[in-house]
A and B are shown apart, each in its own frame.
Chain A
Amino acid sequence: MITFMNNSDSEEEPCNERTSLMSAESPPVPSYQDGLQASEAGEAQAHRKRRAGSSRGPNNITGGETSGSGVPVRESALENEEEELTLKYGAKHVIMLFVPVTLCMIVVVATIKSVRFYTEKNGQLIYTPFSEDTPSVGQRLLNSVLNTIVMISVIIVMTVFLVLLYKYRCYKFIHGWLILSSLMLLFLFTYIYLGEVLKTYNVAMDYPTLFIVIWNFGAVGMICIHWKGPLQLQQAYLIMISALMALVFIKYLPEWSAWVILGAISIYDLMAVLCPKGPLRMLVETAQERNEPIFPALIYSSAMMWTVGMAKPDTAARGPSQQTWDAAEDGREHLRSPSHAESQMSETRSPVPTRPVTSLEELEEEERGVKLGLGDFIFYSVLVGKAAATSSGDWNTTLACFVAILIGLCLTLLLLAVFKKALPALPISITFGLIFYFSTDNLVRPFMDTLASHQLYI
């Protein structure tokens, strides 16, 4: 019964995708297909669910998730069973989210440690106009705070813009925006990344080969993310995109600003999702009212929604549109344009018609995965990457931040299971991560270093 909804704020800035868990319990309206959909009335369904939940493997091939959220959650007398189901599947989905987050972090840390390009200071984004090269500490602090304010306000403006676009149904605009963003991300950033990696390892590659490789990579990526593709491939692309974006941030954000921005973004996330007037919350609610998935290409989903057994005549007609919708829905991605490109946050909104209420009377096995916004991926990776880059080469700090973030994610998902509504994924993890980073860097490191130099073990 946990619907996971990811709100993605696409903006030029790093997306503030939040993981929101939407509870699927809006009786009249099918909830988004996000998240676990567990509440099916009737024991049979509960049982089917149980069976279904464990055997979703083969259905993952369809591109995108089928929007299966239409099942209204009915509080049945089997609430206890549902809860148990929730917890069981919640645990499974936690693990399903651990893997991509870990992969993304591994990619970022590996790149940071080996490719020196991403740790060199080569200028700043226009979103952080104040330089940190000042001699005095106070001035530097002030500049970083000002940078943060600028960045957060840009994010807020973009989010509100997005919400307005969504409210007034300018789907095409959002769609185009998102496509443009992902295009740039897939081609330009990959080109830069590949170039730097090749430079680091001193491998020569001629331009035609490079062109072919990047063209294939980018084209397949666009198709996978915005249209249909195997789930694993789509997940892989989303992870790579998040990693690329995180690397850009690590490179172009000045040091202190990066930390302050991380803190400020988690606070903003908290407010935007939980406050009644927060833009993300309005987005989520509007999308729920209209029975539409939230932006496609901005959310990572861990499983396919597979809706089977709709009313017969419906299926055929609904099939294709549903597919596109789901695919689009799946392909959400947070695209943040780096400043050196125009910020064009493309938000892909799935322009699909509202889904009919999916009342699954028959065999409706939906394996709802958990959805996590790409922005969350990006910021987690930024934190770990920055820890790897600036912690004087210490792996302990990186590891500590990694564990902290995963534990934060666990806790968030637990809260999701308890509260059953959209929740921000950033605050807890980022807080833990920041605490652990600063404490490990300053307190634990000297201790461990001294111990290790005497070869003492504790």
Chain B
Amino acid sequence: AFFWLLSLLAASLLWFVSVQLSGREDAALLLLGAAAAVLLQELCRFACFKMLKKADEGLATLSEDGQSPISLQQMAYVSGLSFGIISGVFSIINILADSAGPGTVGIHGDSPYYFITSAFLTMALVLLHTFWGIIFFDACERRHAGGLGLVVGSHLLTSGLTFLNPWYEASLGPIFILTLCTGLWAFGTAGGSFRNVLKCLSCK
């Protein structure tokens, strides 16, 4: 979470400076700022990975049987989840606070579905961050550059799709499909498979 905040800080700094320099607010600048934010987030995810890796090695050397008590996949999951949580919370908490107060949604001509689509989008984003975390760590561990590229690419794609709001069909639909696909991919990366699922369900 801390790392995500750092990335957000850096991105905002960039955006702020660019706004000041250009003297006006612009959609293009926003696009730039958003793209920079995405890239910085991925960078921070990488930094998180490095740090966790080092901590993992330290724990492994100290432990009794040479293995660290937390597996890398667990760490990937936790880190992805925390990225997701803080990003989701940051995205939605002001909206939530406002929704508890008086007002009418979309009175100025915006979409009246603002709140609910925000909720769905945030949910998708949280899930996506978790999945990206798993895939990312796995790709870094195995030095699989394709995985890395796909994660970054899909993050950029998601963010770009949200720019199509309020054309919700175009943004929500693809984002959910992306979430599903990424989820399946992450599941596969983490070692799951159809057989595992069956086994788990039948072990009840």
> Interface of A with B (CB < 8 Å)?
80, 83-84, 87-88, 393-396, 399-400, 403-404, 407, 436, 439-440, 443-444, 446-452, 454-458
- A457 adjacent to B158 (CB under 8 Å): yes
Q: Return chain A residues, CB-CB under 8 Å to B12.
A: 439, 443-444, 446-448
- How many Å from the CB of A200 to the closest CB on chain B? 16
- B63 adjacent to A84 (CB under 8 Å): yes
Closest residue of A by beta carbon distance from B166: A455
- How many Å from the CB of A158 to the closest CB on chain B? 35
- A455 adjacent to B64 (CB under 8 Å): no
Give B122-139 as 1s and 0s: 1 = Cβ < 8 Å from A's Cβ atoms. Answer: 100100000000000000
A-B CB contact pairs (8 Å), 11 listed: A80-B62, A400-B5, A403-B86, A439-B13, A447-B33, A449-B94, A452-B91, A455-B117, A455-B121, A457-B158, A458-B159
Closest residue of A by beta carbon distance from B17: A443
Main secondary structure of the interface of A (DSSP, over half): helix
- B165 adjacent to A455 (CB under 8 Å): yes
Contact A403:B5 (CB < 8 A) given known A395-B94, A443-B12, A444-B12:
yes
Q: Return chain A residues, CB-CB under 8 Å to B1.
A: 403
User: Which of the residues A83, A403, A448, A458 comes within 8 Å of B62, measured between beta carbons?
Assistant: A83
Q: Return chain B residues, CB-CB under 8 Å to A451.
A: 30, 34
B203 contacts the other chain (CB 8 A): no
Known A436-B5, A436-B9; further 12 A-B contacts with Cβ < 8 A: A80-B62, A87-B59, A395-B93, A396-B90, A439-B13, A443-B9, A443-B16, A448-B12, A452-B91, A455-B166, A457-B159, A458-B38
User: Which of the residues A396, A400, A404, A447 comes within 8 Å of B11, measured between beta carbons?
Assistant: A447
- Interface size grouping (class) on chain B: 35 or more
- B94 adjacent to A457 (CB under 8 Å): no
Report the 10 A-B pairs with minimum CB-CB distance, sorted nearest first: A458-B37, A447-B12, A455-B165, A84-B62, A443-B12, A444-B12, A395-B93, A457-B162, A407-B2, A456-B162
- B16 adjacent to A456 (CB under 8 Å): no
- B94 adjacent to A456 (CB under 8 Å): no
- B9 adjacent to A444 (CB under 8 Å): yes
- A457 adjacent to B2 (CB under 8 Å): no
Docked CA distance A450–B91 (Å): 11
- How many Å from the CB of B66 to the closest CB on chain A? 12
B97 contacts the other chain (CB 8 A): yes
B8 contacts the other chain (CB 8 A): yes
- How many Å from the CB of A364 to the closest CB on chain B? 22
